[in-house]
Amino acid sequence: MYLRKTKFKDLNIYWKWFNQPEVRENSLITNKKVKFKDHSEWFKNVITRNDIYMYVLVNNKILIGQIRIEKLKYKKLLINYSIDKKHRKKGYGKKIIFMILQKFKLDLLLREYKFLAKVKLNNISSNKIFQRLNFKQRKYKNLIIYSKDIS
């Protein structure tokens, strides 16, 4: 099992994953289906940005899910991830976040950064994952904000 950088050929699978009902339900951006044209424009933009890191979790040549890390101000890195509905409840959510934590620990330029994740209160699976990975948590409106130092 490994993380590989997202490639332009992943456009369709990202669109499919984002439009899965559970992903839209837990999204902080929109809970509506995204048209392929709109998704394509977004994807072309984010995949080329140097402040966004995008990876796909691969297990035995099967694409399991995706994780996106966005650099924010004040040395913060925002985590966004999703797991394909066929592969949920198998520990992949925890695995993908653990693997990105390990990957970023090795990057000397990012050692002073802190990971952040914003999770809806009713997203029980993601909340459990961040708690099990020892992220600090605080409630903010209908969210829980998780944070963890890289080092």
Q: Per-residue pLDDT tens for 87-129?
A: 999 999 999 999 999 998 888 677 789 999 999 998 999 999 9
Residue 67: per-residue pLDDT: 97
CA 82/CA 97 separation, integer angstroms:
10
Residue 28: per-residue pLDDT: 58
The strand order across the sheet containing 136-140 reads: 2-5, 52-59, 62-72, 76-83, 114-120, 143-149, 136-140
Give this prediction's pTM: 0.90
Number of domains in the chain: 1
Residues lower than pLDDT 70 in the chain: 23-24, 28-30, 108
The domain spanning residue 13 has which CATH number?
Answer: 3.40.630.30
- Asked whether 150 and 105 are in contact (CB, 8 A), the reply is yes
Helix, coil or strand: residue 70? strand
Note down the domain range covering 85: 2-149
